[in-house]
Structures are given as C-alpha cells and as structure tokens.
Homo-oligomer: A and B are copies of this chain.
Amino acid sequence: MKVQIITIGDEILIGQIVDTNSAWMGQLLNQNGAEVIKIDSIGDDYELIQQTLKQAIHHADIVLITGGLGPTKDDITKKALADYFGVSLSFHEPSYERILKIFERIGRKTTEAHRQQCYMPDNATLLYNKMGSAPGMWFEHDNTVIISMPGVPYEMKYIMEHEAIPRLRERFPMKPIFHRTILTVGEGESRIADRIADIEDNLPKHIKLAFLPSLGMVRLRLTARGEQEETLKQELQKYSKAIEDRIPELIFGYEKESLSEVVGRLLKQHDLYLATAESCTGGYIAHQITSIPGSSDYFKGSIIAYANEIKMAQLGVKESTLKEHGAVSEPTVVEMVSGTLRLLNTDIAVAVSGIAGPGGGTPEKPVGTVWLAVGNQEQTISRKLSLGKDRIKNIEYASVQALNMIRQFVVEQYNSVTEVI
C-alpha cells in the first residue's frame, strides 16, 4: 500500500516547528505494512492544497493530510477538500453538541468559530477525535482513501491509532506483519550490534532487525513478513529468544513498556515504596515515575534539593561533605539517599547530583558529570556518568540511568527471578 502524506501549515515552511508528525506516521504505517512514498509540506493555500491532493490521489492508495482544521481564518483545509470533491459543507449537530458539552463542563461559552468548525463535507465519514474538538475525516475518491486530521500531534496520533489504522487494515489487504520488540538499556547501539552480530547475520530474508536508539535505551525490533501467521510468530519467538539469551542483563521489557512502568511493576510486586532526591534532574525522575497511573501504590514523593541549602537542611547532607567533596560527588549522593529514606520513610531511595550544563563545569568536574546512588537501609550502590553538554539530554539521560539503577537494585536485592515477564 502506497501512502502519501500532506502536511498543511505555514509553521513548518517558515521553520517555526519541525515536522515530527510525518516521522511518527511513517513508522506506524510501516509497522502496518504500508509504504510512504512522498511527504509534501505546503502552506494554507487553497490552490496548492488542491493541486497537491490531485497529484497525491494519482500516485498513492492512501493520502494522509494533517493541519488546517482549526477554527481560525487560516484553516482552509475543509473548504479546499469539499470543493475538490465537489460537495457541500453541512452542519453536523453531534459535533456541535460535543463541543457544547465540553465547554459547559469547564464553565465557558462557545463562539461563532466553534459553530463554523462543525460544518463537514457531505462525503466525509467522521473519525472520532477524543483529544480535541475537530473530528478527523475519511474520504474515498478515485479508489483512493483520503484521511484529513488535525495537525496537533496528540490529536493526530489518537485518530491514527484508534480510527484510521483499524479502518485501513479493514479496507486494504495487508500482508501479515508481526513485530517483536525487545527493550534494552545500558549499552549503545553499536555495542549491542556487535554482541548479536552473528544472530543478525543469520536471520532469514523475511525477518528484519531494526535498532531504534533513544537516549540511553535501544529498542531491538524484529519484523517478520510473510503468509503464515503461525510460522511467523514461532520464528519471531525463536530469534527473540536467541537475542535475549545473548544480552539478558540489558533487557528491561518488551513491546511498548516504558522503563517507568517496569520499575513500578517491580516495586509493587515486592511491596516497596520509593522516593527520589533530585538535584540536576530537577524532578524529571519523579515525573517519569508519576506519569504511570497507580504510581501512588509505590511512590511517596521527592525532595528536589536544587540548592545546597536544601541538601543540608532537608536531606541532612553534612556541610563538611559538601565542603570537602562538593555537591556533585559520591559521598553527597550517598548521604542524599540516607536522608531521603529517613525523611520520606520509604524502602528505597534514589539520588542524583550533577552538572546538567551548559554552564557550571570545571576542569575536575566538567559539564555532564553526574553522580547517582540508589539504596535501602542495608545497601547503597553508586555510579558516575560522564555525559555531554546538552542540558536537556543530560537531564533525560541521567533519569533513564537512575530508573535503570532502581530496576537493577530491586532485581538484585530482592531476589527476583521472574520479574522480566
């Protein structure tokens, strides 16, 4: 199945935002056996929209359009589409009812623009958009499926996952594709590739292995294409096991699990409570943990000790420790751990102190120097990272390592054999 993507909106053309939607859609479509042949980014231009649509309909089986469905005057996608298909726009009462309900609940009034947003092309099948007020629209024209969605990423993603892909799978014959994704943390792409090189080289032609790195984690995705569902699944299982047996200590989960979910599951399994003491990560670790629903079952809270004053006053880090070793040191994070265990009364605590950058580095402790420690009443493990100069990347990477250290600590300290399900 050939797909062409059209993104509508000036903000991409003037470089104000980067088009991340197309990459996301491309990946999702690939997983579903469809191939993106072209991505066009154009402005809110009536004629250009129609010209581009015409060319796309000619070349592709599926055309995905994002953008231009908002309530303001620069949003002209709907009109351009309706005119191209030669249909009228009609008022869609249910869409308006829905907007009214949402606004009622938040105690605000709707405007004329909201009414205008509810006119839909007569030939459109509406696709439910849980994340926003503008529904997606599905059209069929000249044997091509055209789907129009809002450009706001979380709205587009919802419609793609819940409405578009299921319908596309029904509409088009897709050769079975099966994936098995192994999630690893702790080593980079090249090292892992080296360690499993022979397994990769011996994969049959119809099974591919992709390495998808992201900030300290690498996803290994095996993809099998073919005719026989049962055979494909068995093969995937076989090669997956070969990889797992080769690099067991790097694996933290499968498919779409996040490290935070896995950590949460482990803590809950062992009836443990966690607290964090963060300096340079500034709450990011706590945020990762609390993004998971139900985290109050295993997470009590954090002290973000951004200033040294707080490290001393709240966490009991000794002034002499800070004077002698500095805030970014092993003794400091070890004291932060014991202080947190005591103050927040949890079973396990993790502490991080480092120099996120871009400023603050010294010759002895350059930007990117981060100390981590995780411990319970009996034992504390500590580790030093030497990262780069990018502040945000350092914060995110240190948080990934901290979560992984908690995971490893629970696995090792609480004698878990069955935790990686």
**Which positions in A face B, CB cutoff 8 Å?**
10-20, 22-30, 35-45, 48, 52, 55, 70-74, 105-108, 110-114, 117, 131, 152, 154, 179, 181, 189-191, 193-194, 200, 208-214, 221, 223, 276, 278, 280-287, 289-291, 293-296, 299-307, 309-310, 313-314, 343-345, 356-359, 386, 390-393, 395
The A interface is mostly helix, strand or loop, or mixed, namely: mixed
Q: List 12 A-B contacts (CB under 8 A).
A: A10-B210, A12-B26, A14-B27, A15-B28, A19-B23, A38-B42, A40-B40, A112-B194, A131-B393, A301-B303, A301-B306, A314-B343
**Number of identical monomers bound together in the oligomeric complex:** 2
Q: Are A300 and B309 in contact (CB under 8 A)?
A: yes
Q: How far is the CA of A28 from the CA of B14 in the complex (A)?
A: 9
What residue of chain B has the Cβ atom nearest to residue A114's Cβ? B190
Q: How far is the CA of A44 from the CA of B209 in the complex (A)?
A: 12
Residues in B whose Cβ lies below 8 Å from that of A40: 38-41
Residues in B whose Cβ lies below 8 Å from that of A344: 310, 314
Residues in B whose Cβ lies below 8 Å from that of A223: 10, 14
Q: Are A179 and B111 in contact (CB under 8 A)?
A: no
Q: Are A106 and B386 in contact (CB under 8 A)?
A: yes
Q: Whole-angstrom distance from the CB of A44 to the nearest CB of chain B?
A: 8
Q: How far is the CA of A18 from the CA of B194 in the complex (A)?
A: 26
Residues in B whose Cβ lies below 8 Å from that of A301: 303-307, 310, 314
